[in-house]
């Protein structure tokens, strides 16, 4: 079986919109089982994708999200550090360019999900996911497991 066609920027943005829409459904998007959730993301993506988009399987769509999500999260972390260093006279484009350069240097590859980040970055569901993820990591660091005495 051949490799799926490369995802376009528009398809990636539509996937982000499908994820956001599914996550925000009144049927408790966050409370769904993982398989059910990704099936709904896929159905949402199919219903709203551009008619010129390549056909994709449910596995391809969920696989794309599973690749995109951690990379966008890592980029958001780099971007957050860049904007936390206040620089007089800097605009948004300068912050994004610097974050992109730092990400590329650190990960030895360019950041390929800029369109996804632009779509997700200010959406409440995405920012709450980031907060929850960061909160879990911080709690784990603040409360390391206590070693039990031998015996």
Domain assignments of the chain as residue spans, ordered by start: 9-121
Radius of gyration of the chain (CA): 18
Look at residue 146 in the predicted model and tell me its pLDDT.
Answer: 37
Contact 120, 20 (CB under 8 A): yes
Q: In sequence order, which ranges of the chain are alpha helices (DSSP H)?
A: 9-23, 34-48, 58-84, 92-107, 114-120, 124-142
CA distance 71 to 112: 9
Contact 145, 137 (CB under 8 A): no
Say whether pLDDT at 29 is over 70.
Answer: no
pLDDT digits (tens, 9 = 90+) for 95-134: 999 999 999 999 999 999 999 999 999 888 887 776 766 5
CA distance 115 to 16: 9
Taken in order 64, 67, 72, 75, the sign of the CA dihedral is negative
Say whether pLDDT at 145 is over 80.
Answer: no
pLDDT digits (tens, 9 = 90+) for 48-87: 888 777 889 999 999 999 999 999 999 999 999 999 887 8
Better pLDDT: 107 or 26? 107
- Residue 2: HSE in the Cβ half-sphere, 13 Å Cα cutoff: 4
Measured between alpha carbons, how far is residue 56 from residues 16, 19, 52 in Å?
15, 15, 12
């Amino acid at each position: 079986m051949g490799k799926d066609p490369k995802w376009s920027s528009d398809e990636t943005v539509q996937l982000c919109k499908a994820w956001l829409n599914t996550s925000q459904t009144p049927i408790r998007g966050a409370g769904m089982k993982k398989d059910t959730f990704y099936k709904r993301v896929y159905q949402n993506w199919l219903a709203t994708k551009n008619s010129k988009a390549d056909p994709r399987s449910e596995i391809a769509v969920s696989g794309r999200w599973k690749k995109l999500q951690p990379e966008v999260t890592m980029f958001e972390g780099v971007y957050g550090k860049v904007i936390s260093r206040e620089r007089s006279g800097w605009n948004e484009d300068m912050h994004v360019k610097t974050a992109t350069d730092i990400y590329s240097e650190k990960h030895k590859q360019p950041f390929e999900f800029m369109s996804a980040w632009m779509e997700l970055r200010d959406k409440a569901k995405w920012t709450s996911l980031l907060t929850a993820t960061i909160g879990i990591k911080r709690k784990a660091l603040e409360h390391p497991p206590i070693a039990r005495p031998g015996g």
